[in-house]
Amino acid sequence: MLSRRLGPARYRAYLFLVVVAAVFSLYGFYAGHNNHPDLRVSPAKFDVLAKAANDVFHSFKGVVREHPIPRLMDTAEDKFRAKLKKQSKTLSEAVREYRRRYKRHPPKGFDRWWQFAQENHVKMVDEFDGLVSDLEPFWLLSGEEIRRRTLQAGELPSIHLVRIRDGESIGLKLNHAYEDSEISARAQGFRDMIKGFTAELPDMDFAFNGRAESRVIVNWEHLKYPNLTNQDSSKGIAEMMGGKFEADWSDKENTWDAWRRSCPPNTPARRLFSSRRNPFVNQVTNYLSLAASHSNNTDSATFSPINEFQFMTTTNSVIDFCAHPHLHASQGHFFSDWRSLSALYPMFTPARAQGFMDIRVPSHYYYGSTQRYTYGWDSVNLEIKDVDPMEVPWEDKLDKVFWRGATTGGGSHPRGFAPQYQRHRFLRMSSDQSNTTYRTVTFSDPPNSNRYISTKVPISQLNDEIMDVAFVKAVTTATYPGGEEALIRDHRFDDTVPLGEHWKYRYLVDLDGMSYSGRFLAFLASDSVPVKATVYEEWFSDWIQPWYVVHFIPLSASYNEIYNIIAYFSGPTPSTLLAASFDDLSTSHLTSSSSNATSVDAERRLRRIARAGKEWKRTMGRKVDMEAYVYRLCLEWARLWADDRDSMDFKL
């Protein structure tokens, strides 16, 4: 080996020079040969690359000089407090802030909405950037065009209309193919949310997506050059879709082929790339990698885009699927069986992923009350209690990561990709019992100090110590390569548990299913800490703060950093200490009792995360907050619905 020939010191210096040279070469290549603004390396990104090279050099010493988590939390706290503090205090302030942000007047009825928000103590009265962004593309369409497209969408299978006429709402299903209770449940949930102010709303319709997955994917050219593409739907939805429209994909194309057309023309995803070939087909144990070779090397460098000691600052996916199309195989929403709409149709849905154009509304799971999705629900007295009957005191909670769920996570078109769906990948990683896979774990040494050391630990031992993760139900087993037998062989299964069983654990992982997770607000309401990995944005994205002292802990789509999240907050596990002693890196922990191994500051921070998440749910994730959100949405939609939009402005 090269390290043996050069010696440890020279080898580290040699490697450092190689990394630095590679960074500068990469920067020079992009600067000299790529002038496209979306692809060239910015000075800020160059600084990140240079810092990464420096970190590589220092990591060989086995010592980390500063743990990034405290700074992430402190920065997030400052941002969230500042956002809360600057919220408008009067109607006139709210109007000025609206005009400053969106360069137009607020919608008609804004004063009544303001009164509703004030009477119900809504805190985030200015934070509706996501809502406005969802609706912004529809300003290019006339009111007549929007009304026509809404009706056309309502005539499709798995779509339900909510119609407001003369101050009352009704639900309509115009196409009875593909009967599904979820269709009416989502529409009915919306009707319940607007019940308190329906009488004040003008006539209009809403088309609700009856499927979990997002449905609207508009080609890049249609959004960039609307004047050069067909924007007239008067000849029907089939004409807008380029031919006969079928509700499912059958054997014609797939979601990924449709999605990649939303990327700019010069991106890799727009080149000929088929999702019918699985790049991970011979690599079931690969979790997520940007490496071109897709090797099985267990070194942390192969586990990009988030390595084991990088931490997310947001729940939004950092993966640019336009730039790295092969990684689309890692997310199940690219394999939906239901055909997407390739033109800008108004579709209301609980969540949307990157590249989709659906309009977000609060989920009926969040607004309703059920045993499966609601914290504190008393099914006997039919009421919500402040403290769930199965809640466990913080001191008695197990210091483990807990998750239970079904083998959902994506569609089956085309087949063969299920092993790489988000839930399946996490299950295999967290139950890996191999003797050849390691994770690099970083922890404070001595305890409560600012000195951190790193050591490689067998993943099987870490999983035994901190993971309690399992599937409880196998669904659509025929689409998994090898069928049900292979699915059960490759993943851990356990018994179904009630929602309250989660409260026994300090860390609750929240993973996407077919779409968003309907349990997230229940996790926030508990006295545990949600660790959330998602590619979806929901209605509350502007109102909540990852790492804010804290509401929840964000987790990357690769999940690689989760072992170091637990190591920071809960301290090193016995297997970590043993591995460190073999590496001759640490002795102080070995003479400390296990109760002293956890940093006091980190333990306090973890407790504050649980409390802050619970407080957010109590004050900003209430039913009335969802009502305030959809009230504002209805006013904006009413203006877009109108022919004379100027008459639908609110002016002081």
Each residue's pLDDT tens digit, 41-77: 333 433 433 343 344 333 334 566 788 898 888 988 8
Task: Name 400's Cβ contacts closer than 8 Å, sequence gap at least 6.
Answer: 466, 467, 468, 505, 506, 507
- Order of strands across the sheet with 63-64? 63-64, 452-458, 438-444
Q: Which of helix, strand or coil describes residue 478? A: helix
- Rounded-to-integer distance, Cα 236 and Cα 219, Å: 18
Q: Please tell me the predicted confidence (pLDDT) of residue 547.
A: 58
Helix 68-85 vs helix 600-619: crossing angle, to nearest 10? 30
- Rounded-to-integer distance, Cα 586 and Cα 83, Å: 42
Q: Please tell me the predicted confidence (pLDDT) of residue 598.
A: 63
Q: Where are the beta strands (DSSP E) in 77-209?
A: 159-165, 168-172, 204-209
Our CA angle for 623, 632, 208, nearest 5°, is: 75
Strand bridging mode 204-209 / 505-511: unpaired
- Rounded-to-integer distance, Cα 329 and Cα 322, Å: 13
Q: Buried b / exposed e across 316-349, counting CB within 10 Å, b at 16+?
A: bbebbbbebbbbbbbbbbbbbbbbbbbbbbbbbb
Q: Please tell me the predicted confidence (pLDDT) of residue 644.
A: 97
Mean pLDDT estimate for the chain: 83
Each residue's pLDDT tens digit, 111-122: 999 999 999 999
Strand bridging mode 505-511 / 529-533: parallel
Q: Please tell me the predicted confidence (pLDDT) of residue 183.
A: 60
Torsion sign, CA atoms 341, 519, 399, 550: positive
Torsion sign, CA atoms 298, 299, 301, 307: positive
Percentage, residues of the chain above pLDDT 90: 60
pLDDT at 189 over 80: yes
pLDDT at 231 over 70: yes
Q: Please tell me the predicted confidence (pLDDT) of residue 379.
A: 85
pLDDT band for 125, please (50, 70, 90 cuts): very high
Q: Please tell me the predicted confidence (pLDDT) of residue 179.
A: 65
Higher pLDDT, 337 or 13: 337
- Rounded-to-integer distance, Cα 645 and Cα 104, Å: 11
Q: Which residues share a beta bridge with 204? A: 164
Q: Buried b / exposed e across 26-56, counting CB within 10 Å, b at 16+?
A: ebeebeeeeeeeeeebeeeebeebeeebeeb
Mean pLDDT is lowest, of 221-225, 249-253, 316-320, for 316-320
The single residue listed with the structure tokens 């009856």 is: 210
Take residue 71 and report the two structure tokens written for it.
């700074």
Each residue's pLDDT tens digit, 537-556: 999 988 987 755 468 999 98
Q: Which of helix, strand or coil describes residue 511? A: strand
Average pLDDT over residues 207-233: 88
What are the phi and psi torsion angles at 232 (to 5°)? Answer: -105, 115
Task: Name 410's Cβ contacts closer than 8 Å, sequence gap at least 6.
Answer: 331, 332, 333, 334, 335, 336, 417, 418, 421, 422, 514
Mean pLDDT is lowest, of 39-53, 98-112, 127-141, 580-594, for 39-53
Phi-psi region of 236 (alpha: psi -120 to 50; beta: other; left: phi over 0): left
pLDDT band for 600, please (50, 70, 90 cuts): confident
What are the extents of the domains in the chain? 2-61, 399-620
- Rounded-to-integer distance, Cα 76 and Cα 41, Å: 26
pTM: 0.85
Q: Which DSSP helix (H) or strand (E) runs through 509?
A: strand 505-511
pLDDT band for 218, please (50, 70, 90 cuts): very high
Each residue's pLDDT tens digit, 337-361: 988 999 999 999 999 999 999 999 9
Q: Please tell me the predicted confidence (pLDDT) of residue 177.
A: 73
- Rounded-to-integer distance, Cα 189 and Cα 366, Å: 9
Q: How far is Cα of residue 243 from the mean position of the Cα atoms in its chain?
A: 34
- Rounded-to-integer distance, Cα 237 and Cα 438, Å: 53
Q: Please tell me the predicted confidence (pLDDT) of residue 180.
A: 63
pLDDT band for 11, please (50, 70, 90 cuts): very low
pLDDT band for 585, please (50, 70, 90 cuts): low
Average pLDDT over residues 519-540: 95
- Rounded-to-integer distance, Cα 94 and Cα 114, Å: 8
- The answer to whether 232 touches 144, Cβ cutoff 8 Å, is no
Among 301-305, 314-318, 399-403, 443-447, top mean pLDDT goes to: 399-403
Count of CB atoms within 10 A of residue 292's CB? Answer: 7
Residue 560: exposed, middle, or buried by beta-carbon count in 10 A (0-12, 13-18, 19+)? buried
Residue 591: exposed, middle, or buried by beta-carbon count in 10 A (0-12, 13-18, 19+)? exposed
Percentage, residues of the chain above pLDDT 70: 80
Each residue's pLDDT tens digit, 369-419: 999 999 999 988 889 999 999 999 999 999 999 999 999 999 999 988 999
Task: Name 497's Cβ contacts closer than 8 Å, sequence gap at least 6.
Answer: 404, 472
What are the phi and psi torsion angles at 470 (to 5°)? Answer: -160, 150
Each residue's pLDDT tens digit, 16-36: 443 344 434 433 332 333 333
- Rounded-to-integer distance, Cα 310 and Cα 306, Å: 6
- The answer to whether 533 touches 280, Cβ cutoff 8 Å, is no
Q: Please tell me the predicted confidence (pLDDT) of residue 298.
A: 33
Q: Which DSSP helix (H) or strand (E) runs through 537?
A: strand 536-537
Tell me: cis bond preceding 305? Omega within 30 of 0 counts.
yes
- Rounded-to-integer distance, Cα 639 and Cα 108, Å: 8
Take residue 630 and report the two structure tokens written for it.
């959809």
pLDDT band for 589, please (50, 70, 90 cuts): low
Count of CB atoms within 10 A of residue 454's CB? Answer: 25
pLDDT at 484 over 70: yes
Each residue's pLDDT tens digit, 245-298: 788 888 788 999 999 999 999 999 998 766 666 766 665 554 444 333 233 333
End-to-end CA separation in angstroms for the chain: 76
- Position 516, amino acid: Y
